[in-house]
Chain A
């Protein structure tokens, strides 16, 4: 029996172990966006509040902005909210809200309590617009470029680290 046959199992295992090691650095639960670098999907949502406009595809052209998917029943949304408020206060980037599978009254009360960082809010009670975006939970945040293309998707609450390391540099890049 040639020597190589005896070494083969070890070599195969080495390859498997390498992949398992890489696998440890990934997060199995995060689904990357299928729409990266594609134009924002086609949708049209009514406004959530009377004094703030709703959201449609056309509104996402012309400027770099963030789209934040949120709901009043979502606990992590509450956790990320102060960060969004701060960003709006610092005029970092316009933040658009997509209120997902929520009741109008609940969402309005939630924003009244925590503050409203959004320039526009679209109300999507059925979740259909969300499906167009590939939303599968809340919160999610998308970075949209001037041409209305989705350039980045962050799943889960926004963290300061993600903001400073990934999102803000990207926004800066897109604004050039």
Chain B
């Protein structure tokens, strides 16, 4: 099932897979700080003509265009956030690999935490119930005379196995 096949339905001619690491030497900025920022941002931008790759990883033309574009903007002095906003304005939230935190994604970002909390609560409740069971069932006084007599008959009458387990 997890066979890495590229999809056969190619709508856009630009899709290519399995190519080498994408950033070309001549794309890189001279300033290492800016280049590091560029790489960082690229890793978080989706390649729109690929299937689940960042523009940093992809060799598609559009990926290359966007890489060059964001390096130009970095050189022009834009902040990381401004560049991301620029891309989102044109391509939508989909272009960012890290989903934004907004009303429509609260369920996404807080979901795991909510589940964890619910699970922990569930666990506490589970242990509390078990503890309650423990105290009620361990009291011999909870059996009345009739029940105790029945219990005695059961223990004497039927032979359990050698280890003393009831049959």
Q: Which residues of B contact A127 (CB under 8 A)?
A: 61-62, 65
Is A154 part of the binding interface, using a Cβ–Cβ cutoff of 8 Å? no
Report the contact-size class of chain A (Cβ under 8 Å from the partner): 20 to 34
Q: Which residues of B contact A133 (CB under 8 A)?
A: 90
Q: Which residues of A contact B11 (CB under 8 A)?
A: 29, 76, 137, 155-156
CB distance from B49 to the nearest CB of A (A): 6
CB distance from A39 to the nearest CB of B (A): 12
| Of listed B48, B90, B94, B129, residue having the most chain A CB within 10 A | B90
Is A7 part of the binding interface, using a Cβ–Cβ cutoff of 8 Å? no
State the CA gap A137–B91 with chains docked (Å): 12
Residue in contact with B66 in the complex, picked from A101, A131, A138, CB distance below 8 Å: A131
Is A128 part of the binding interface, using a Cβ–Cβ cutoff of 8 Å? yes
Q: Which residues of B contact A138 (CB under 8 A)?
A: 12-13
Residue of B at shortest CB range from A156?
B11
CB distance from A97 to the nearest CB of B (A): 18
State the CA gap A158–B87 with chains docked (Å): 26
Question: DSSP class of A's interface residues: helix, strand, loop or mixed?
Answer: loop
Is A74 part of the binding interface, using a Cβ–Cβ cutoff of 8 Å? yes
State the CA gap A74–B61 with chains docked (Å): 14
Is A75 part of the binding interface, using a Cβ–Cβ cutoff of 8 Å? yes
Residue in contact with B12 in the complex, picked from A34, A41, A131, A137, CB distance below 8 Å: A137
**In residues 131-176 of chain A, which contact B (Cβ within 8 Å)?**
131-134, 136-138, 155-156
CB <8 Å contact, A137 and B90: no
State the CA gap A138–B13 with chains docked (Å): 8
CB distance from B125 to the nearest CB of A (A): 10
Q: Considering the complex of A and B, which 7 residue pairs feature the smallest CB-CB distances, nearest first? A: A137-B12, A34-B92, A136-B48, A134-B90, A127-B65, A134-B91, A156-B11
* Chain A residues with a Cβ under 8 A of chain B: 1, 29, 31-35, 41, 73-76, 101, 126-128, 131-134, 136-138, 155-156
Listed by A's residue number, 13 A-B pairs whose Cβ atoms lie within 8 Å are A29-B11, A31-B91, A31-B94, A34-B88, A126-B65, A127-B61, A127-B65, A131-B90, A134-B90, A134-B92, A136-B12, A155-B11, A156-B11
